[in-house]
Amino acid sequence: MKKFAFPVLLTSLTLAACQASVTPELQEVPVEPEPAAAAAFDGEAKTVDMTQSSVSFEGKSSIINHKGSFTTYSANVTLDETDPADLEKASITAAVDLTSVVTDTAAVDGHFQREDFFNTAVYPPQHSLLPRSRHSETISTQSPAT
């Protein structure tokens, strides 16, 4: 009798557990409204938000590497009039105050001001940097004022 009572008890508990689990009623899920369409292109340059942007670099040599950034800069993005959503067609202009360089070492900060780097005695502190192309790592600079 004990052999028969245990399987019956186990089956009863299993069935009771199945009945105890109640499926909750379907709940409505709130639907987010679709985002508004982007504003029409107004043809004006957009100023880059400096609180969410940075200008940084890493100088590498056989002796030591230095990471650095600039604290004073500005940038504008002009979108393509025919296809403003295509950022590859946008033009970007930036001006960087080369005297605002900050690295991991104060001596390196001063060294970057000398003629073998930024040459801030010749080039104005607010110097425009314009990339040659989107794929180029080379940056062309304006020639010093004569």
Residues 34-75 pLDDT 10s: 665 555 667 677 888 888 888 888 888 888 888 999 999 888
DSSP sequence for 11-60 = HHHHHHHHHH-PPPPP-PPPPPPPPPPPPPP-SPPEEP-GGG--EEEEE-
- Domain range list for the chain: 46-136
Average pLDDT of the chain is 71
pTM of the entire predicted model: 0.53
CATH number given to 46-136: 2.40.128.110
